Structure 1
Amino acid sequence: MIQPHRKTRLLYRHTSSATRCLALAALFVAPPAMAQDAPPATDLPMPAPIVQPVPSAPLPHLSPAQANALALLLRKDIVAQGLADTESGETLDNDSLVRAALDHAHAVHAGRLAEADFDRNWAMRPAAYDPLPAFKDAVEHDRLAAWIASLPPPYAGYDALVTALARYRAIAAAGGWESLTAGADLTLGNTGARVSALRQRLALEDPQVTPSGDRFDAALVEAVRRAQRRYGLNPTGIAAAQTLAALNVPVDARLRQIKANMERWRWLPPELEKNRVQVNIAAAVLTLFDGDVPVMSMKAVTGRPGAETPMLTSQIHSIVLNPPWNVPSTIAARELWPKEKAHPGYFARNGFRVIDTGDGGKRLQQASDHSALGKYKFDFANPFAVYLHDTPAQAGFARFDRLASHGCVRLEKPGDLAKRLLDATPEWPADTIDATVSEGKTVRAKLAAPVAVYLLYWTAFATANGQVSFRNDPYAWDGALATKIAARSARQALAAR
């Protein structure tokens, strides 16, 4: 396990140049929708509930100097951590100030939601956290500043969003940016007021851009490409409608995205495994970490809106080679039985078997040589019965909008991932994997040691200098999270009256 420190790497934060090119230059690719991913439901439990302890009396007593220092620390940190946009000048008595500090600690360290607020698909829960013991120790040893500094998630990716939040607030305070006017695509050689406005807009987020000038030169082409990569668009270097739409998202909306992603960081455990698989659901990219270093990145296809890929953490325990596909009843009823009815023989031509369930019902199974799961299926326990898998629809990875599955995660290079994960399993060297796949027999390869897997939903992620990449909010989870936080805050304020 890694130690919780600010150097900890997460998706996109510290990728190699080759990995970064793959992960950021071609993020949105969607194959045609296929009924291929969701297996039968399982009976596994949801994550453990959140417990927010109620401080027991008596509360620590602060000296006048400590009270003044703590009030100042809280006023500034509440803004820095995105919990409020302005500092409060309210004066509190000792117990009220201590309770405010404990509430702040819980919000920064473990998030602002209660168990009832979590959507079922948000299957990650912050660990139970009681801030009181550490706070008492900080008061006793006069280390309140160090205690405040220890509260946020111990990851460089979170720190980068804190930096980004301050940067985008400064942009907003200066007036934000004006919307770029619609019109013909802007490209190399164009001149005029629209080009000048484009330069000024790009310069607000990209320090490499010269804000003055009305000519679309080669440097501006590269600047547009950088922006397109930041927004997960095809980096053509041409400022067409899709690019202009991304640039026209108001700065206040970008601030809300940053805050939503900061909140989700608070749900992660205090330590992450050094060897792990991470999927950014919103960007549809998988990254493999070995020794806390990203060693492989590939495009993925994640759930389309309405069939969302859940946020969760688990462990990959085995890989099924040449997996058959047990078709979920919902997909069979909605998509496959109508095809057989409209085109008799469809099942036979596509390797489907009709199996009697024994209770008067029927289910479908697709043979491994035809399987929509391809040649590899990566199993990990979860209450949604989702998994990572291969797909025969490889052409879809050439597109930039890759939210098209039924909830599972399709992989661009599943064979490469399988070999890396089985590298420490002596009975499964690469040539044995290849031979088994070629033979076509269904075999379960158990990993010598399980590998952690994280399915995460990042719609904003930043580098250390505050340069932020944004993605669309395809599931509207950013907005739902903000609404839930606001509702929770309103209920707490009402209860405090």
Structure 2
Amino acid sequence: MATSAAAGAQVAPQPIPTVTPPPPPAAMIQAAAPLPTLSDTQARQLAKLIAADEVKQGLRVGAPRDLATRDHDALVRIALDHARAVRTGRLMPDDFQKDWGIRPRAYDPLPAFADAVARDRLSAWIASLPPPYVGYDTLVEGLERYRTIAAAGGWPVLTGTVKYGERGPAVARLRERLAIEDSQLSAGGDRFDDALLEAVRRAQRRYGLNPAGQVGAQTLAALNVPVERRIRQVMANMERWRWLPPELDPRRVQVNIAAAVLTVFDGDTPTMSMKAVTGRPGNETPMLISRINSIVINPPWNVPTSIATKELWPKERANPGYLKRNGFRVIDNGDGSKRLQQSSEKSALGRFKFDFPNDFAVYLHDTPAQSGFSRFDRLSSHGCVRLEKPADLAKLLMRTTPDWQPPQIDATVDAGKTVRAKMADPVSVYLLYWTAFANQKGDVGFREDPYGWDAKLAASVERRSATQALAAK
């Protein structure tokens, strides 16, 4: 049964998994156990099922392959490879970037496949392979919808801005373009009326833009992204869904890096959501899964060497006294080098730091710079995640910790003393990169691909699919 995971803008979790590389291709599993024998009828059925499912699951861009001429053993190897790709992703270990810190768990498809052959249930086996998440299922439907749009010729390119109340050919083209994705809008008409204004606002919300209803450069740029690129964007996000563990921790904190939004879930119900600030391109926030074990109240900031070298020491040289005025201490490391620490009173981490083990030295934290949350583009940190409402999050996560109820948290903050508050019940945290997500009505929302990860991932999926297709011949 599919599990809801907020269909994308925010997403899915579980406990810290060990980083396990994907299992070997199906062709290598052959040596470990005998392969099942297909009947001629099963071979024909399997060839059709896999050819269609490769396209449906976003593993191929083009038309379905013709697998009808493959011999039975080749079809079995193709089926096992297809199962691994759908369940845990098409990528191989060498395809992962370092900051793609989530890895799919090992999966051997042979036992379930052999059982399906023995019981003549190949169709049910194929249907059981995709990740069990509603967020994935809605993207499957969205992919089919955008492929239909592409087959019909895509959408027109818009040039020039138009305003509410205007009419003419440019308005008609805008209405035509929006109606392709928006079932609530009819395509006819050349007047920028109230219905078109609301359609523009809906589109802007889908693209993560300010829903002011004004058709400016950002809105035009989003509307003019070719449908083929949107298809690859959906494919890339489907692949990332396949990396997630098969069961989700019911208590979880989720960050959509691309949308810069944090959501807390209890089961499938969101209990809190807030704006975040995530890493700017060049200082990317990594994808990872971990657990928040403790919260540091009034944390000092131990400045990373890279930030001190590139930003703070130059400011001190240009304006002597800058470090002292901003609460920085210069600490001798004992080996001739120095490091910087900012006191809790002026710390860039604000009053709360949420710790969780990871290989990237990132965490969630408060910030005194609240102005950044008013922007729609909130990718401007050095890689950590800044939070709009960190006190609210701390109190929510500590609700099962008797020693750290809201009065104790408030008193400790006011006292200004640095304290590490250990949580009675650690909570899973997921940092995920979602740039395409769909709701139950089939409306697909998109975000910019600020790190360029979608293009790299889609290309890797296509390349691996092509390589496996050649290997199976």
Q: Which band: TM-score by shorter chain?
A: over 0.9
Alignment partner, residue 295 of structure 1: 271
Match of 2:20 among 48, 52, 61: 48
Instruction: Name the counterpart of 2:352.
Output: 376
Establish whether residue 87 from structure 1 lines up as the match of residue 64 from structure 2. Answer: yes
TM-score by length of 2: 0.95
2:169 and 2:325 mapped to 1: Cα distance? Answer: 59
Answer yes or no: is 1:169 the counterpart of 2:141: no
Change (3 A) 1:296 1:401: same
Pair 1:473 & 2:449 matched: yes
Amino acid paired to 1:55 = I
Q: Identify the residue that residue 238 of structure 1 maps to in structure 2.
A: 214
Q: How big is the alpha-carbon RMSD for the aligned residues of Structure 1 and Structure 2?
A: 1.7
CA 1:171–1:473: 2 relative to 1, 3 Å: same
1:354, 1:363 within 8 Å by CA — same for their partners in 2? Answer: yes
Task: Map Cα deviations across residues 79-122 of structure 1 (whole Å, 9 max, x no partner).
Answer: 11111231222321110111111111011001111111100000
Alignment check: 8 A CA contact 1:163 1:464 kept: no
* Distance (whole Å) between structure 2 residues aligned to residue 465 and residue 260 of structure 1: 21
- Please tell me the residue identity of whatever aligns with 1:418: A
| Distance verdict in 2 for CA 1:325–1:472, change over 3 Å | same
Does the alignment pair 1:147 with 2:125?
yes
How far did residue 465 of structure 1 move?
2.7
Matches of 1:13 and 1:118 in 2, distance apart? Answer: 23
Equivalent positions of 1:59-458 (< 5 A) are 59-84=35-60, 85-90=62-67, 91-182=69-160, 185-458=161-434
The 3-state SS of whatever aligns with 1:125 is: coil
Contact 2:295 2:394 (C-alpha < 8 Å) held by counterparts? yes
Distance in 2, matches of 1:488 and 1:262, equals 15
Shift in alpha-carbon separation, 1:45–1:275, aligned structure 2, 3 A: closer
Rounded Cα–Cα distance in structure 2 between residues aligned with 1:455 and 1:14 = 10
Q: Provide the C-alpha distance between the structure 2 equivalents of 1:443 and 1:397, rounded to a whole number of angstroms.
A: 27
Counterpart Cα distance in 2 of 1:66 and 1:482: 32
The separation in 2 between residues aligned to 1:277 and 1:81, in whole angstroms, is 27
Instruction: Tell whether the 8 Å contact from 1:106 to 1:130 is kept in structure 2 after alignment.
Output: yes
Structure 1 residues 45, 93: closer, same or farther in 2, change over 3 A?
A: closer
Secondary structure, aligned partner of 1:286:
strand
Q: How far apart are the structure 1 equivalents of 2:304 and 2:177?
A: 48
| Alpha-carbon separation, structure 2, partners of 1:167 and 1:358 | 62
Q: Secondary structure at the match of 1:237?
A: coil
Equivalent position amino acid for 2:298 in 1:
N
Bigger relative CO (Cα 8 Å, ≥ 6 apart): 1
Aligned partner letter, 1:231:
Y
Distance, in Å, in 2 between the alignment partners of 1:472 and 1:150 is 32
CA shift, 1:164, in A, is: 0.3
Among the aligned pairs, what percent are the same residue?
66
Q: Assess, with a 3 A threshold, how the Cα gap between structure 1 residues 45 and 173 changes in structure 2: closer, same or farther.
A: closer
Provide, for residues 213-241 of structure 1, a one-character-per-residue CA deviation record: whole Å limited to 9, x for no partner.
11111111111011000001111111111
Q: CA deviation digits over 1:175-217, x for unaligned, max 9? A: 11010122xx322211111111111100000101121111111
Q: With the length of structure 1 as denominator, give the TM-score of the two structures.
A: 0.90
Aligned pairs, number: 463
Which residue identity lines up with residue 118 of structure 2 in the other structure?
E
Note closer, same or farther for the CA distance 1:406–1:46 as it changes in structure 2 (3 Å cut): farther
Residue by residue, what CA displacement relative to the aligned partner does 1:292-330 show, whole Å, maximum 9, x if unpaired? Answer: 310111110000000000000000000000000000011
Any idea what SS the aligned residue of 1:123 has? coil
Q: Secondary structure at the match of 1:122?
A: coil
Cα pair distance change 1:263/1:230, threshold 3 Å: same
1:11 deviation in Å?
5.2
Q: 1:51 to 1:462 in 2, by over 3 A?
A: same
Gap regions ≥5 residues in structure 1: 16-43
Contact 1:275 1:292 in 2 (8 A): no
- CA-CA distance at 1:491 after TM superposition: 4.3
**Cα distance change on mapping 1:201 and 1:119 into 2, 3 Å:** same
Give SS of 1:89's match: coil
Tell me, in whole angstroms, the C-alpha distance in 2 between the residues paired with 1:101 and 1:10. Answer: 31
The verdict on how the C-alpha distance between 1:389 and 1:211 changes in structure 2, with shifts beyond 3 A counting, is same
8 Å contact 2:299–2:350 — kept in the other structure? yes
